[in-house]
């Protein structure tokens, strides 16, 4: 019975994965269908265990005080990871408020003016800005605003925006790997295994920003000549260019939302010390945004990406099927056997498989699948934290390899194509794939030197 339940759970998960990769339907549909099939076929029809359904849904955790205020004890999650879902929902609301007040457009135009509207300088500045913002805000949001402003400046200054957008995409995924709140895979890893914002910052953060320096140098050398050739003459009178202050829609709300953003960052950085969970921080961010911008609240709430939240829910149910049937424990044992129990080999396998898998499939379901696997390897005697850092770096940075490897890639290239600047697979991979291999190789070297 156990073998049958494992087999069916694996088949359902693989079918879900294939449909997501085909990309014929919105990814939340196959995730929800897969999740409900897991409940009905695996948990109820084969295992005949309603208790397992309740364990996978994990709704009881929402009523526990430790879910909201865990104190200094690590908060681990099995089944549906409500910490991830609630935190992302709260951050979506805060980010919508910031965008509504004009924060992102303001910061882009301000940086452009700071570098005197030179295309190569914009490449450098926007690459760094993308990596920095992605440490705290979902990389999808970062690209939505950065790519749009980049194209606006490119039309005004007459340079090709595609190289800058490719660099921004790459930097957002590298910068996102630096913190727990940077990329969805990190949120999943951190909330599932009980790691804090500072845990990520002290481990993946150091390695990610070494990778960011290499990223900056790589794209500067790759694109500086073409950008200089494509840019027209820069007007000496900068008043012809958009004023940053004109991007601010409502000055009062702008100031309040920036203060809320700073507060949320402080709460994230200190949540291990204060004992507040990331779900609580997400609720605080959402509540303050709606409270101060109550007139815009309906518009902000309607812009929440409910489909992404449903995608996470269905995905966690599918992965819960693999976890509850023991399929992922079997996979962890297999990795342990083929590595001969060598920590360096296991860490290398996780990093490189994560990187190349995330280059061709969405890195979110891959990360969610691998979390129980590395938890099992940790239970077998291998040090768990370095395995978690290898998974985070591999999934985040590996997603840079192709235009579909991460959500930021899809969003950035879609905006460019919509505005008349299509990014072909060949052009994207010609630069992003070797840069990804280079940065992941550096990550591997630093992981080995630091944790072996």
In this prediction, residue 436 carries a pLDDT of 95
Question: Across residues 298-327, what is the average pLDDT?
Answer: 86
Residue 170 lies in a domain: yes
In this prediction, residue 254 carries a pLDDT of 94
For residue 65, count CB atoms less than 10 angstroms from its CB and return exposed for 0-12, middle for 13-18, buried for 19 or more: exposed
Residue 269 lies in a domain: no
Residue 83 lies in a domain: no
Question: Across residues 426-437, what is the average pLDDT?
Answer: 93
Confidence of residue 241 (pLDDT cuts 50, 70, 90): confident
For residue 81, count CB atoms less than 10 angstroms from its CB and return exposed for 0-12, middle for 13-18, buried for 19 or more: buried
The parent domain of residue 48 ranges over 2-57+103-247+305-451
Confidence of residue 218 (pLDDT cuts 50, 70, 90): very high
- Taking only the tens place, the pLDDT of each residue in 55-65 is 989 898 898 88
User: What value does the mean pLDDT of the chain take?
Assistant: 88
pLDDT of residue 40 exceeding 90, the answer is: yes
In this prediction, residue 369 carries a pLDDT of 84
Residue 77 lies in a domain: no
Cβ-contact 409, 359 below 8 angstroms = no
Confidence of residue 336 (pLDDT cuts 50, 70, 90): confident
Of 342 and 434, the structure prediction assigns the larger pLDDT to 434
Dist CA 409 CA 357 (whole Å) = 15
Sign of the CA dihedral with 49 first, then 370, 20, and 5 last: negative
Residue with token string 């498989």: 353
Q: Which helix (H) or strand (E) holds 60?
A: none
- Taking only the tens place, the pLDDT of each residue in 268-287 is 888 878 889 989 999 999 99
Residue 277 lies in a domain: no
pLDDT of residue 386 exceeding 90, the answer is: yes
Dist CA 385 CA 331 (whole Å) = 19
pLDDT of residue 235 exceeding 60, the answer is: no
Residue 339 lies in a domain: yes
Sign of the CA dihedral with 15 first, then 20, 23, and 29 last: positive
pLDDT of residue 75 exceeding 70, the answer is: no
Residue 353 lies in a domain: yes
Contacts of 177 (CB under 8 A, 6+ apart): 183, 186, 204, 208, 211, 392, 393, 396, 397
Of 32 and 96, the structure prediction assigns the larger pLDDT to 32
Residue 119 lies in a domain: yes
Domains in the chain: how many in total? 1
Question: Across residues 406-434, what is the average pLDDT?
Answer: 88
Dist CA 205 CA 176 (whole Å) = 9
Axis crossing angle, helix 206-230 with helix 425-451, rounded to the nearest 10: 150
pTM of the model: 0.82
pLDDT of residue 341 exceeding 80, the answer is: no
Contacts of 367 (CB under 8 A, 6+ apart): 184, 185, 188, 189, 354, 391, 392, 395
- Taking only the tens place, the pLDDT of each residue in 3-25 is 899 999 999 988 988 887 787 88
Question: Across residues 52-73, what is the average pLDDT?
Answer: 87
pLDDT of residue 266 exceeding 80, the answer is: yes
Dist CA 360 CA 17 (whole Å) = 11
């Amino acid at each position: 019975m156990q073998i049958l339940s494992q087999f069916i759970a694996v088949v359902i998960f693989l079918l879900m994965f294939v449909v997501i990769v085909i990309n014929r339907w919105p990814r939340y549909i196959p995730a929800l269908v897969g999740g409900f099939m897991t409940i009905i076929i695996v948990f109820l029809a084969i295992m005949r265990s309603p208790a397992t359904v309740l364990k996978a849904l994990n709704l009881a955790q929402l009523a526990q005080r430790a879910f909201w205020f865990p104190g200094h004890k690590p908060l681990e999650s099995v089944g549906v990871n409500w910490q991830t879902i609630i935190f992302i929902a709260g951050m979506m609301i805060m980010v919508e408020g910031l965008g509504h007040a004009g924060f992102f457009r303001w910061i882009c135009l301000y940086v452009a003016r700071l570098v005197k509207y030179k295309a190569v300088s914009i490449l450098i500045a926007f690459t760094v800005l993308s990596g920095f913002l992605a440490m705290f805000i979902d990389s999808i949001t970062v690209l939505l605003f950065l790519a749009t402003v980049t194209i606006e400046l490119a039309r005004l200054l007459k340079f090709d925006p595609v190289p800058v957008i490719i660099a921004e995409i790459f930097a957002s995924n590298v910068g996102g790997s630096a913190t727990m709140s940077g990329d969805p895979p990190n949120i999943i890893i951190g909330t599932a295994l009980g790691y804090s914002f500072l845990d990520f910052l002290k481990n993946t953060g150091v390695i990610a920003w070494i990778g960011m320096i290499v990223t900056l140098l790589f794209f500067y050398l790759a694109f500086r000549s073409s950008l200089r050739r494509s840019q027209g003459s820069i007007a000496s009178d900068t008043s012809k260019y958009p004023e940053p202050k004109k991007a601010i829609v409502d000055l009062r709300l702008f100031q309040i939302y920036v203060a809320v953003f700073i507060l949320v960052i402080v709460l994230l950085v200190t949540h291990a010390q204060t004992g507040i969970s990331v779900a609580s921080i997400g609720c605080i961010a959402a509540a303050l945004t709606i409270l101060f911008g109550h007139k815009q609240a309906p518009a902000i709430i309607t812009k929440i990406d409910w489909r992404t939240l449903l995608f996470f829910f269905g995905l966690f149910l599918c992965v819960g099927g693999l976890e509850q049937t023991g399929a992922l424990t079997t996979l962890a044992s297999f990795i342990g056997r083929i590595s001969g129990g060598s920590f360096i080999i296991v860490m290398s396998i996780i990093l490189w498989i994560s990187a190349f898998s995330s280059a061709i499939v969405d890195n979110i379901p891959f990360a969610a699948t691998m979390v129980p696997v590395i938890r099992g390897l940790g239970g077998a005697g291998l040090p768990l934290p370095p395995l978690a850092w290898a998974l985070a770096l591999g999934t985040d940075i590996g997603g840079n390899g192709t235009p579909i490897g991460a959500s930021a890639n899809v969003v950035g290239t879609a905006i460019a194509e919509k505005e008349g600047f299509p990014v072909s697979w060949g052009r994207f991979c010609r630069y992003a794939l070797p840069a990804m291999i280079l940065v992941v190789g550096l990550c591997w070297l630093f992981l080995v030197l630091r944790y072996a």
